[in-house]
Amino acid sequence: MAEIVNNKSPLTRQPAEDTAISPWKEGWRSFKKNKVAVIGLLIVVFFILMALFADLLAPYSYEAQKLANKHLAPSSEHWFGTDEYGRDILSRIIFGARLSLWVGFFSVAGSVIVGLVLGLLAGYYGKWVDMIISRVFDILLAFPSILLAIAIVAVLGPSLRNALIAIAIINVPTFGRLIRSRVLSVKEEEYISAAKAVGMKDGRIIFQHVLPNCLAPIIVQGTLAIASAIIECAALGFLGLGAQPPTPEWGQMLAESRAYILQAPWTVLFPGVAIMLTVLGFNLMGDGLRDALDPRMKN
């Protein structure tokens, strides 16, 4: 009998498909499975879209005053009511999202850039470089963050720009120490030693091998830091050290309305809810990113 050829023989089988995926794709898949994190992402996207299209979404100008409409309760004409100057609160909250997110993103971006440079230098070179940079971080961390921000704004002068600078400065040690600790771990890996052995320059090693392995914790901490920056911006605005009237900044709106909390509670309620939801969204998303990108959080 003729020998029957098995078409499924290993000799005739097609090569197995490469199922390996990058850590970033794997992290995204893990993130999508976390429903709470996805809810946080949707909240963040909602406020970002609201900030981007504020000119189209706001029913009124955020600075248009009409004293005859002072402290109108929420209605079909003014969904969130009006404030003590007759300004539409919904319009001011929509435009306030643009300012709060602007401060949050750019203050954290500044903190990440400065903290990244200092953390890389301290962790990679060590010795006296590490000692000097670490002592600077310790000095900044010795002060309560909000008090240090108040002191910086008091020196520079109250304005939204100076509030952004102050928030960026107080967050530098957090990112610097995070990156430094990560670099101390990464630089002991064998591939770093191999790169040094073949004569690769320090700059190339740092940017091609060390930095890419530090991105995951930076992304997670950056997301959480945006939430903190929004709260700090609102706190400075509440104290009169951030955005100045008639700028529609949420903290400053709360400060203007605190005297009318019993007479017109909606003037305090809606800006407070906007701050709460934005911070909640970034915190939920940050927790989800941490669970997805941190190998220690996986089974």
268: left (phi over 0), alpha (psi -120 to 50) or beta: alpha
Question: Who contacts 100 (Cβ-Cβ below 8 Å, separation ≥6)?
Answer: 230, 233, 234, 249, 250, 275, 278
Name 1's Cβ contacts closer than 8 Å, sequence gap at least 6.
Answer: none
Contact 266, 73 (CB under 8 A): yes
d(CA 245, CA 215): 39
pTM: 0.83
Residue 281 has pLDDT above 50, yes or no: yes
**48 pLDDT above the threshold of 80:** yes
Tens of pLDDT, residue by residue over 65-117, are: 888 888 889 998 889 999 888 899 999 999 999 999 999 999 999 999 999 99
Q: How many CB atoms lie within 10 A of CB 232?
A: 25
User: What is the overall mean pLDDT for the chain?
Assistant: 84
What domains are there in the chain, each with its CATH number? 34-63+76-297 (1.10.3720.10)
pLDDT digits (tens, 9 = 90+) for 172-190: 999 999 998 888 888 877 7
- Residues 52-66: pLDDT tens digits? 999 999 999 888 888
Cis link prior to 15 (omega < 30° from 0)?
Answer: no
Q: What is Dmax (Cα atoms) for the chain?
A: 104
Q: What is the mean pLDDT of residues 204-230?
A: 86
